[in-house]
Structure 1
Amino acid sequence: MKTSTALVTGANKGIGRHIAEQLAAAGCTVYVGSRDADRGRRAVEEIGPAARLLVLDVTDAASVAAAADRLTELDILVNNAGILLDVAMPQDTDPDVFRRTYETNVFGVVAVTNALLPALRRSPHGRIVNISSGTGSLGDSTGPDAKHATTGRGAAYRSSKAALNALTVFYAQALAADGVKVNALAPGLRRTELNERAATADGDPAEAAAAAVRLALLDDDGPTGTYVDWNGATVPW
């Protein structure tokens, strides 16, 4: 796996940036997916010679198609690009917030994954890692011992991650015969630009990135269709 080619979406900052850096350190050629060419270019320069810039907007069909045309060989896809627009209650959230959130967090994942499946299927060690969220766990959001608040705040983001978890299961089942492993990671609250709370968080994004890299570099006898946290512990769907 150390000669693998990887694409990390949303890799110009945050957890994605650390994932790209760590994959490069592991010996991979890494395409840094970034909507912003300038920020992506700076990330590539900082990561080093193993990094390549790929200007990619996961919500734009032409951009996704161009990425697929360029990446005819690919072993690892990390669907990291994601947005959080509002933490309001569902009844106080404009439907457009749901649409825009799903456009990136769900439909963007489907578009990029489907476009790159031919290359991933050709790989002898195809791997897909979906960066989810523990707040997308329905199991951890319900019951008397729920880890996450059950008030319904942030419903657009949290439900989009629940949908992403479902997609992880479906892709894992559909691609099992091709040897492509598909897993989801709940990275935990990390110091990123996701929202104001994350901006002041204590969590190290590099720690979460290391967990994503472990899933990206799974051995052929590794699991598929799992949902785990940064320590590798199973998270309930």
Structure 2
Amino acid sequence: MKSALITGANKGIGFETAKQLLQNGYYVFLGSRDLKNGSEAVTKLKLEGLTSAEAVQLDVTDEHSVKAAREEIGSNINALDVLINNAGINGGMPYTALEANTDQFFTTYNTNVFGVARVTQAFIDLLRKSSEPRIVNVSTSVGSLSLQSNPAWPAYDYAKYAVYGSSKAAMNMYTVHLAYELRDTAFKVNAVCPGYTKTEFTNYNGGDVEEAAKRIVKYALIDRNGPTGKFFSEESNPEAHEIPW
């Protein structure tokens, strides 16, 4: 049975992504900063008959937590097939470049950028043992420098979140370099925007969480002929899906 780890998987898009991977026959580790919340999420899945799920305490901002999660998961499996870096925060108000304080920037980058690097580096050895390893970094079109600077973009005048957007742009750059370093291997590494989705993150505004998770799962399940080092957003580009960095 193939296995997957999803950070921030106890609720929202992460939880739905776990559900869909379970439906595709994966054993899924649900990373949760609060283990109680993770365990409750697993209970919900098992009540739906999705039993191949396990909660793992994982705070992406805490080096010790990440290392402990790696040891726990590594004691149960020989290889990890999918890593989905889903955990993220928006940084809180004020969102603007001139008003947001440096603590907001640091806290947000610690989760959205440094956390992705911490988890990826901690689990890369287990991923290397998979025959078809996949890494999906959950991003956003708000992190596209090209779209954010284009007055013709439909969201140009309202999608200005300096802290969150810049953190995701930095994570996108990490994705580019990660894909490049793994270019001659079986890895597929991509950034995926799930779209504006009805979750706690958006005060329950936006599209359906099932559709958002489906967009992520698609790139977790791509075969050896699939893309790598790309940035996808079906919401921003419904036809071709790939969007500019």
Within-5 A mapping of 1:143-222: 143-149=150-156, 153-194=160-201, 198-222=202-226
| 1:17 aligned partner | 15
User: Which moves more between the two structures, 218-227 or 199-208?
Assistant: 199-208
Q: Secondary structure at the match of 1:147?
A: coil
Unaligned 5+ segments in structure 1 are none
Count of matched residue pairs:
232
Contact kept? 1:136, 1:162, Cα under 8 Å:
yes
Which residue among 51, 57, 60 is the counterpart of 2:59?
A: 57
**Superimposed CA distance per residue, residues 112-138 of structure 1 (whole angstroms, 9 cap, x where no aligned partner):** 000000010111010000000111111
| 1:33 aligned partner | 31
Q: Following the alignment from structure 2 to structure 1, what is the Cα–Cα distance between the partners of residues 207 and 178?
A: 30
**Superimposed CA distance per residue, residues 25-66 of structure 1 (whole angstroms, 9 cap, x where no aligned partner):** 100000000011121111111112111011100000111001
| 2:3 aligned partner | 5
Q: Secondary structure at the match of 1:39?
A: helix
Computed over aligned residues only, the root mean square deviation of the Cα atoms, in angstroms, reads: 1.5
User: Which TM-score applies when normalising by structure 1?
Assistant: 0.94
Contact kept? 2:150, 2:156, Cα under 8 Å:
no
Within-5 A mapping of 1:78-89: 78-87=84-93, 88-89=95-96
**Superimposed CA distance per residue, residues 67-102 of structure 1 (whole angstroms, 9 cap, x where no aligned partner):** 111233211000000001225211101101000000
User: Which TM-score applies when normalising by structure 2?
Assistant: 0.91
Within-5 A mapping of 1:97-136: 97-136=104-143
Q: Following the alignment from structure 1 to structure 2, what is the Cα–Cα distance between the partners of residues 184 and 152?
A: 19
Which residue among 216, 241, 245 is the counterpart of 1:233?
A: 241
Unaligned 5+ segments in structure 2 are none
